[in-house]
Amino acid sequence: MHIQANPVPGGLFSFLVGRQGVQVDHVGRYLIVDRPFKQQFTWAIGEITLNDSVVRLDIVSTESGCRLQLEHEMPPEWAGFIDRSSDAWRKILVALKQDLVQSGKFTVFIEKNQGN
């Protein structure tokens, strides 16, 4: 297992994790890194290709704090993974919410946009 990241435009990342006894390597290339407001990166399993999905994270100031918007655009051939991917991102956001709320400094709400 490992986490390797070079979070600059053009930099690569690899998150090798274990799932049910199988090693899965999530890999990609950072396309946009504009801390703390925006990140955009490709996302794939195993190796980077020209047809990877693209993940966009935008953090926008609001009257009560900030809002994180996550979009994961997947090529048509990945359609069978949309629900599984959505569930995985939701679990990640719930874990982030728990960490932020436990710090005592944040109130967090998670919404799911059924559109796009």
Per DSSP, the three-state class of 93 is helix
Whether the CB-CB separation of 46 and 27 falls below 8 Å is answered with yes
Per-residue pLDDT at 16: 94
Question: Quick one: DSSP state of residue 8?
Answer: S
Mean of the pLDDT values across residues 44-63?
Answer: 89
CA distances from 69 to 61, 64, 82, 85, 113 (A): 11, 15, 17, 15, 10
Per-residue pLDDT band for 109 (boundaries 50, 70, 90) equals confident
Q: Which domains does the chain have, with CATH numbers?
A: 2-102 (3.30.530.20)
Per DSSP, the three-state class of 72 is strand
Per-residue pLDDT band for 72 (boundaries 50, 70, 90) equals very high
Whether the per-residue pLDDT at 4 is higher than 90: the answer is yes
Whether the per-residue pLDDT at 49 is higher than 70: the answer is yes
